[in-house]
Structure 1
Amino acid sequence: METDCTRDELPAGGGVLTPLSAGTRLLHIGPHKTGTTSIQGALFEARDAMARHGVEWPATTRHPMEAVLAACARTGMMGDVEPTERHWERLLERVRATGGRTCVISSEFFADAPDDETIERIVGQLGGDRVHVLVTLRPLARIMPSQWQQYVQNGLRMGYEDWLEHMLGKPPYEKPNPSFWRRHRHDRLIGRWARVVGPQRVTVVVVDDRDRDGLMRTFEALLGLPARLLHPVADAVNRSLTLAETEMLRNLNKEFRANELPAELYSQLVRNGAVMHMKNACAPGPDDVKIGTPRWAVEAAAGIGAEMAERIGASGVRVVGDLHLLSSMEKPVGRTEIAPRIAPETAAQALYGALAAAAAAPVRHAAPAKSRTVHQTPSKELVRVLGHRCLRRLRLR
């Protein structure tokens, strides 16, 4: 593909990537599922070492999610604490405190900024002309299964193939997750930010999954850091769910919604209890079935990727890596004749995680006696009562 963009090879491939000027505020906007958690963990872990080389990490955590959600006028995940403007103001205060030093801020939720006006405000508050935007990209075919299971972790009840039909084959492609194409129509995402900061202040990095350390080396080169300063940080909590684990959670989501249980309960007991403990305690084995994308969806994603690559290449932004990867055709995983089954150990760990989260909220008041026994009460009513009791205990902490 012939393009008129500025092109650099990844440092790992022997090319030279010119560092950004001192005092730059590098803003990594994701989007989701493009190596963001990995690079955020590496940057946070190396924050003290980076500071000795003139580069600051102004956030107090490895991902200032609440601050960025507030800046983009986005709600938090289902049942989580609502982000406030104060979250964003605190991050801005720490950015200003870095003075004339280089700093780096990373959050995939910047990709959710709803319009040019919001982007302009964010850029202006972070330093205006000092801001350089970094976008990391992967092929859609690799993003889609990871993004679907992430939506399931936030309450989605739709199956994968049905979800793919809605995202790829049923216009206007906004339901059930309108955020998907705002994040992952990458040419338009880059266009929105380039309109505000100018294409000369946008760098696009095409992540090559065959080069596990390539993204780390690119960040080092852009920030003027010594080679091999950044290292991946082990994070079991961020691993993707297997197909069986996702299907278990999706069916739980159906029961949860059918019984009208509170969103706060989902956050505490399901996402931050059952799912998080299951991820920490259980590593997928070789026999676990991964989420497979059917051939028609892989072909559709590759076609969209080719179109996006052409438009990105013509936009004038700096591209690091090979845009052809965005339209690569991966071998699709077909249907399995045997339905995936979750291991008893995994199910037990998920159940234990929910129980442990519930037990973390001590009971301060005894529940009044009921006139009916448990065996006389319909199961749906039992689930609803249990849910509200657990939520009441969580609120009493």
Structure 2
Amino acid sequence: METDCTRHEPPANGGVITPLPAGTRLLHIGPHKTGTTSIQGAMFAVKDRLGAYGVDWPATTRHPMEAALAACARPAMMGDTVPTDQHWTRLLAQVQASGKRTSVVSSEFFADAEDDATIARIVEQLGGDRVHVLITLRPLAKIMPSQWQQYVQNGLRMGYEDWLTHMLRKAPYEKPNPSFWRRHRHDRLVERWVRAVGPQRITVVVVDDRDRGGLMRTFERLLGLPENLLQPVPDTANRSLTLAETEMLRNLNKEFRGNGLPDELYSKLVRNGAVMHMKNACSPSPEDVKISTPGWAVEAAAELGAEMVGRIATMGVRVLGDPALLSAVPPPPVWEAPAEPRVAPEVAAQALYGALAAAAAAPVRHTAPAKSRTVHQTSSRELMRVLGHRCLKKLRGH
């Protein structure tokens, strides 16, 4: 259904959504784990066809992440390329070149903008009163496991239930990931952007996971695109990790951090080497143990969802979809004896190969003659530190 305190349109599920005016700068800010990657992939795949319908995808990539991070004055993910103002100004120039066509900019990292001044600047630079903000939302209980394993992919060492305890029970709920509630306290996220553009220029879309193509159909109608133009683009690199894969990586993170290895090395060999290759080469099977959220956390997330829905309903923004989904408590799963999460040998081999392949991308150079002490006489901690720094030196040289 559609709920709207200021406009009276037919229900969204009935198929009638008022398209945005031509020339709109549609800014899709996510947040994370709400279908952003699927929309970005689908829009980028038909980038060259959008002009026929008066729509532009100004970014030269599927996801202009560096531009969004630069705009929000946020740092890069661990070990990644540092975003600069040039990334942002280049995207702004491409948006301006859209002229009277509707321009679509999508990055979940815009949800990380911390203050009103930053948000106001982003809106003004993108086109001021031509900007319409689109926010996609999913239930917290579905977001939490996805975000935890994503944080682990970026170096987190904390277990899932411990992480949930910190996020839900330990005020001020900022450790170990202060970005989580900046993104996922959805009522406050909507409120921050309402202060910049007003309620009339914000659309909130509640994503219904039961309707696989629903989000794409909503985008098509908002942009005046033909139905079914946007189609899913397979992206194995964006799949979530299984519990066993996440635990393997989390324990690797402990060793990595405990030995003081540099972030750049983690980015190249682990996140963009081992993890990326593992996700591309191995698909989870039905037997793989998924990340399961304990009942107390599901209930706490549903209570927060209800509170957030209540506040959003008072803001006067357009809401497409069923807000009740954000506070629904899923039925408890049929009890089964808990299976022990195990990493299949093939998965471990692919992860190891990915790290080795990333290391092999740097040419091996002649080093000084080995000193008298052998590898077997060196502690594992010192050995990891030496190997890590040597590998990083080779990668930088490359």
Counterpart position of 1:282: 282
Q: CA deviation at 1:203?
A: 0.1
Do the aligned partners of residues 6 and 207 (structure 1) sit closer, same or farther apart at CA in structure 2, a change above 3 Å counting? farther
Counterpart position of 2:351: 350
> Would you say the 8 A contact 2:4–2:318 is kept in 1?
no
1:102-127 CA-partner distances (Å, limit 9, x unpaired):
11000000000010100000000000
> Would you say the 8 A contact 2:4–2:319 is kept in 1?
no
Tell me the SS of whatever aligns to 2:256.
helix
Do the aligned partners of residues 29 and 8 (structure 1) sit closer, same or farther apart at CA in structure 2, a change above 3 Å counting? farther
Counterpart position of 1:139: 139
Q: CA deviation at 1:368?
A: 3.5
> Would you say the 8 A contact 1:293–1:332 is kept in 2?
no
Counterpart position of 1:114: 114
Q: CA deviation at 1:89?
A: 0.7
Counterpart position of 2:378: 377
Counterpart position of 1:187: 187
What runs of 5+ residues in structure 1 fail to find an aligned partner?
none
- Equivalent residues in 2 for 1:1-397 (5 A)? 4=5, 6=7, 11=12, 13-332=13-332, 337-397=338-398
- How far, CA to CA, are the matches of 1:9 and 1:34 in structure 2? 24
TM-score normalised over the length of structure 1: 0.97
Tell me the SS of whatever aligns to 2:26.
strand
Q: CA deviation at 1:364?
A: 3.0
Do the aligned partners of residues 234 and 375 (structure 1) sit closer, same or farther apart at CA in structure 2, a change above 3 Å counting? same
Q: CA deviation at 1:4?
A: 3.1
What runs of 5+ residues in structure 2 fail to find an aligned partner?
none
- How far, CA to CA, are the matches of 2:232 and 2:368 in structure 1? 48
1:266-324 CA-partner distances (Å, limit 9, x unpaired):
00000000000000000000100010000000000000000000111111000000100
Query: How many residues end up aligned between the 2 structures?
Result: 396
> Would you say the 8 A contact 2:289–2:339 is kept in 1?
no
Tell me the SS of whatever aligns to 1:182.
helix
Q: Identity rate of aligned residues, in percent?
A: 75
Do the aligned partners of residues 371 and 155 (structure 1) sit closer, same or farther apart at CA in structure 2, a change above 3 Å counting? same
> Would you say the 8 A contact 1:5–1:316 is kept in 2?
yes
Do the aligned partners of residues 336 and 146 (structure 1) sit closer, same or farther apart at CA in structure 2, a change above 3 Å counting? farther
> Would you say the 8 A contact 1:292–1:332 is kept in 2?
no
Provide runs of 4+ in structure 1 moved above 6 Å: none
1:238-264 CA-partner distances (Å, limit 9, x unpaired):
000000000000000000000000000
> Would you say the 8 A contact 1:9–1:320 is kept in 2?
no
Q: CA deviation at 1:40?
A: 0.3
Tell me the SS of whatever aligns to 1:52.
helix
Q: What amino acid maps onto 1:363 in structure 2?
A: V
1:181-224 CA-partner distances (Å, limit 9, x unpaired):
00000000000001110000000000000000000000000001
Tell me the SS of whatever aligns to 1:105.
strand
Give the RMSD, CA atoms, in angstroms: 1.5
TM-score normalised over the length of structure 2: 0.97
Q: CA deviation at 1:337?
A: 3.7
> Would you say the 8 A contact 1:9–1:321 is kept in 2?
no
Do the aligned partners of residues 3 and 39 (structure 1) sit closer, same or farther apart at CA in structure 2, a change above 3 Å counting? closer
- How far, CA to CA, are the matches of 2:50 and 2:11 in structure 1? 21
Tell me the SS of whatever aligns to 1:27.
strand
- How far, CA to CA, are the matches of 1:270 and 1:376 in structure 2? 27
Tell me the SS of whatever aligns to 2:53.
coil
